[in-house]
Amino acid sequence: MALLTDLSYLTPELMLAVGAMALLILGVFLGDKSARLISTASIALLIATLLVVAAMSGWPEREIFAGSFRIDAFSTFVKLMILAAAALAILMSDKYLAGEQLGRFEYPVLIVLAAVGMLLMASANDLIALYMGVETQSLALYILAAFNRDSRRSTEAGLKYFVLGALSSCLLLYGASLVYGFTGATQFDAIASVSAEASKNVGFIIGLVFLISGLAFKVSAAPFHMWTPDVYEGAPTPVTAFFAAAPKLAAMALFARAMVTPFGGVADQWTPILAILAVASMAVGAFSAIVQTNIKRLMAYSSIGHMGFALIGLSAGTPEGVWSTLVYMAIYIVMMVGAFACILLMRRRGGMTETIDELAGLSKTNPGLSLILTVLLFSLAGVPPMAGFFGKLYVFQAAIDAGMIWLALAGAVLSVVSAYYYLRIIRIMWMSDPAPVFEREQGSRLGLTASISALLVLPVLPMFMGPLRIAAERAAAALF
Amino acid sequence: MNEIAAQGLSDQPWLSLLTFLPLVGALAIALRQITAKREANGAVGANEQASIDSVSRRIAMLFTLGAFILSVFITVAYYDPAEAGYQLVESAPWLGQGVGYKMGVDGISILFVLLTTFIMPICIAASGAIEKRVPEYMAAFLIMETLILGVFCALDLLVFYLFFEGSLIPMFLIIGVWGSKGTKMLGGVTMPSRVYAAVKFFLFTLLGSILMLVAILWMWSFAGTTDIPTLQQTAFPAEAQKWLWIAFFASFAVKMPMWPVHTWLPDAHVQAPTAGSVILAAILLKMGGYGFLRFSLPMFPIASVDFAPFVYALSIVAIIYTSLVALAQEDMKKLIAYSSVAHMGFVTMGIFTATTQGVEGALFQMLSHGFISGALFLCVGVLYDRIHTREIAAYGGLVHRMPFYAFLFLFFTMGNVGLPGVSGFVGEFLTMAGAFKVNSWIAFFAAFGVILSAAYALRLFRQVMYGDLVKPNLMAIADVDAREATMLSALLIFALVLGVYPKPALDIFAPAVDAMLRNFDAAVSVAGGR
């Protein structure tokens, strides 16, 4: 009976895994012609799963499989966003992949499989479960990065991602084994009960540091960010759009749980490390992006910077810090999805254009798109009254409440530096002579995605920031 | 029965209505643009574009005039000038945790609201020369008006910050897209100088105000609320006040702008289109002074006393140094921009004397500077529209061809100098009277500014207006037309009336200023200062 109850809590993951397998078989039988059908079915599967997760949100929280996974408000909050972001990623890819002769049925299935891994990450409550989730997700992501297998850039990105990802898995495993060695447990609550005692031993601390390094690699926080620009640039653009959103959120959620639950008692050991990671990421993101000419590379640095801001909340080590990180990530995903939808619309003479200069004078040639992108970029820069501002507001607030005013100040100053390169794009769009017009027939899906995220960023999210905050607060409370 | 109806009417969210009215206009323009595009199947011809342009001009005029009428109506019908506290207060839940949407006005802010709604239609009228992307331009101005009105009406610190920062975006676009031509070399790259000015403007002010954001967050966690009236009654620890004061100062000093962080202003003014300069000088700069009065003085009284000598020093440097710089300018707009910095020096000096005369004088100076500097930029715009240069040396002897223009220009020049009878005098006199009470040396040095302002303003007038009309391109120049004459005369009337009879404005300031200074003195005497 207990097994059945445990399994029922795992319905979303099972649905996705079984569904992905079924779609894979279907694809093999129907061949590449079925790419369109499979991707529609995958979106339907992800949305169905999303509804199941939403329906399960009322269930009492529970640890399943001997405490390996924990289904609670936190995991529900994160899973909802992951599933939505994954569905949007498939939705946004269709046209591009067909245009680049990449319309293969494996693509949506791989995204669904990555989503399975991410859902596991969201509720992992054990070092082994953590590793399992991370690897399930990463394997799918490596293939996706190299999905354009005839392109040297894409295969290079995939290989780079794989090699460096393997390295980070090593760090993660090494850290996990050290922690296990000094606490005798892999289950988070069990570690928590002995962590205060074990922290007297330096080996435990080393294990913790390795664990943090491995996780920092997954969220691409500096100084573990080196892979990000290359992978973002090399991977096909819709894949980059996917990388920038859902996996970042899953990794950040895992980071939060893996710090707060097992090591909550020894927070003073890891909060300074996270604070340093945060400042380093914000600085790298802000300064390196200034000189970029490729928009995907620029977005890579931008996302590194944003991870830095999100880590500010986590490094406060308080419930407030965790929910501020969640709010930040929710807003971040909306902005990233919207920005990449705009980038995917940058298409000219049958090929994608990726340099920022191609946006010149966009406000004249395509006022609608430029307005949307302007709103999103101001939001990414954190200028009020856009939603991006509120994300920064809450993480700074968490840092100040935790007594780390210096961290909030550093974040504030670095956000001005990062505003410079967002302004550069806006400047090029509004204040330069027009470049040739982009192709129009990109399908309304991308345009719609972009406009909806812009609408969310400007009037909707700022107006309903209160409810979003309350939901995130409830989610964060589940960890403490 | 009637009383109940009247009661219900005065409870309406008038201020929100006023604030967001221009935004509705911006949306209307956008909607018009979209439907026109759709009707023309994406390809809008020159004729259709011209009709869209003129419609959007009319919509913008309609909504800014509407806002002006509404603001006058609200002031006359529902504002009680005798009351000291906040009026027309409205609030709604928003973020929770002590942050709500709250609006209200008092004697300090109501006249700035009126100034804004008054200047805005003039800005729209002054934009006749704008020919490219007219609908976007008009929408940017309307959005700007909403954000500025929000700044003056907000009674919640976070709401205030939202509007305060948000106003950067439309101004950035106005300077960068519709600014003047010309290029600038920077680090080996040639870029249009309007773009350089726009970016400089944005980053300077963003850096200043982001420090204020950190301070706001600290206050939020200390007091548990961002409600401005509550925070004005909160006693922050003396040590914390120092840091909070510095953070707020960083923001408002850049906005004001005070020496030595004023360098963005001449660039922004020179590059902005005429209406952009008017709005910048007449209203945006006032947000800094308003911030000092609304936050620095009432919330951090102890720090304000401690730092007052520092502010005096900066103000006097601003008054004397930037006046001297103005004396050396070759560009008319730059000259007026530097004179603005000097005049704002009187304002900061007056505010931090924390005396009734000083504060009321500062408020009055801001109001009067709104009319006079706005008018001066319009005057320069009149010439620029005709000859397309702002260089002083390109003009001379205009009085022979443009007598009425010369009269208007002389009047506003005199206002800028601070001649008695024009509103500029009252503000300068009162701030110096306030400064005299605190320390006669401050007033002594500030008085140099009055002399120097006469020197640079009269030099400008002499070189542009007098002398022989020798330059061939000036021979056929036309005097001001009806539109220009109307705009400038409206400003002239206000500057003259307030100069001769300043009492109505001072009466509106008085209750709020007195109440604020009472609280200020009480807080300072508790702390053992003064």
* Cβ(B53)–Cβ(B138) below 8 Å: no
pLDDT of residue A275 exceeding 90: yes
Helix (H) or strand (E) holding B106: none
Which is nearest to B254 in space by CA: B209, B221, B213? B209
Query: Which residues of chain B lie closer than 8 angstroms to A395, CB-CB?
Result: none
Cβ partners under 8 Å of residue B518, min gap 6: none
pLDDT of residue A442 exceeding 70: no
Tell me the pLDDT tens digit for each residue of A253-274. 999 999 999 998 888 889 999 9
What is the residue-wise DSSP string for A276-344? HHHHHHHHHHHHHHTT--BHHHHHHHHHHHHHHHHHHHHHH-SHHHHHHHHHHHHHHHHHHHHHHHHHH
Query: Which residues of chain B lie closer than 8 angstroms to A401, CB-CB?
Result: 221
Residue B347: C-alpha distances to residues A414, B204, B258, B295, B448 (Å): 32, 21, 10, 15, 15
* Cβ(B232)–Cβ(B293) below 8 Å: no
Task: Supply the ipTM of this predicted assembly.
Answer: 0.86
Cβ partners under 8 Å of residue A411, min gap 6: A278, A279, A282, A308, A309, A312, A392, A395, A396, A399
Q: Which of B210, B218, B246, B251 to mutate to test the interface with A (most CBs of A within 10 A)?
A: B210
> pLDDT 10s digit of each residue in chain B, 530 long?
444 445 566 677 888 888 899 999 999 988 888 888 777 766 667 787 888 888 888 899 999 999 999 999 988 888 888 888 888 888 888 887 788 888 888 888 888 999 999 999 999 988 887 888 888 889 999 999 999 999 999 999 999 999 999 988 899 988 888 887 777 766 666 777 888 888 888 888 888 888 898 899 889 888 888 888 888 888 888 888 889 999 999 999 998 888 888 888 888 888 888 888 999 989 999 999 999 999 988 899 889 988 999 999 999 998 899 999 988 888 888 899 999 998 999 999 999 988 888 999 999 999 999 999 999 999 988 888 888 888 888 888 888 888 888 889 899 998 888 888 888 888 888 998 888 888 888 888 888 888 888 888 888 888 888 888 777 877 778 888 888 888 899 899 988 888 888 888 888 888 888 888 888 888 888 876 54
Burial of B44 (0-12, 13-18, 19+ CB in 10 A): middle
Which DSSP letter does residue A1 get? -
Burial of A321 (0-12, 13-18, 19+ CB in 10 A): buried
pLDDT of residue B188: 64
Q: Give the count of alpha carbons within 13 A of A45, CB side only.
A: 28
Q: Which two three-digit tokens encode residue B58?
A: 């009319």
**Closest chain B residue by Cα to residue A402:** B221
- Rounded Cα distance between A188 and A175, Å, is 14
Give the dihedral sign, CA A286/A292/A293/A296: negative
Peptide bond into B260 cis (omega under 30): yes
Tell me the pLDDT tens digit for each residue of B304-333. 988 999 999 999 998 899 999 988 888 888
pTM beyond 0.80, yes or no: yes
- Rounded Cα distance between B324 and B320, Å, is 6
**Closest chain B residue by Cα to residue A403:** B218
Confidence of residue A61 (pLDDT cuts 50, 70, 90): confident
**8 Å CB contact of A466 and B199:** no
Measured CB to CB, residues of chain A less than 8 Å from chain B are 363-364, 367, 378, 383-385, 389, 393, 396-397, 400-401, 405, 408-409, 412-413, 415-416, 419-420, 423, 427, 430-431, 462-463, 465-466, 469-470
- Rounded Cα distance between B195 and A291, Å, is 18
Among the partner residues A384, A401, A412, nearest to B166 by beta-carbon distance: A384
- Rounded Cα distance between A452 and A337, Å, is 10
Dihedral, CA atoms, A241, A242, A245, A247, nearest 10 degrees?
-150
Decide the pairing of beta strands A69-71 and A347-348: unpaired
Cβ partners under 8 Å of residue B7, min gap 6: none
The total of other beta-carbon atoms located within 10 Å of residue B76's CB is 8
pLDDT of residue A391 exceeding 50: yes
Instruction: Write down how long chain A is.
Output: 480
Query: Which residues of chain A lie closer than 8 angstroms to B92, CB-CB?
Result: none
What is the residue-wise DSSP string for B176-219? HHHS---EEEETTEEEEHHHHHHHHHHHHHHHHHHHHHHHHHHH
What is the rounded average pLDDT for all residues in chain A?
89
What is the residue-wise DSSP string for A30-52? H-GGGHHHHHHHHHHHHHHHHHH
Q: What Rg do the C-alpha atoms of chain B give, in angstroms?
A: 23
Asked if the C-beta of B262 comes within 8 angstroms of chain A's C-beta atoms, the answer is: no
To the nearest whole angstrom, how far is the Cα of B252 from the nearest Cα of chain A? Answer: 17
**How is chain A split into domains, by residue range?**
2-477
Enumerate the β-bridge partners of residue A63.
A70
pLDDT of residue B84: 82
The two most distant CA atoms of chain B are separated, in Å, by 74
Q: Give the count of alpha carbons within 13 A of A59, CB side only.
A: 20
Q: Which two three-digit tokens encode residue A284?
A: 């790298």
Q: Which two three-digit tokens encode residue B42?
A: 């994406």
What is the percentage of chain A residues whose pLDDT exceeds 70? 98
Which is nearest to B29 in space by CA: B71, B57, B2? B57
* Cβ(A137)–Cβ(A114) below 8 Å: yes
Question: Strand, helix or coil at A147?
Answer: coil
* Backbone torsions φ then ψ of B79, nearest 5 degrees: -95, 130
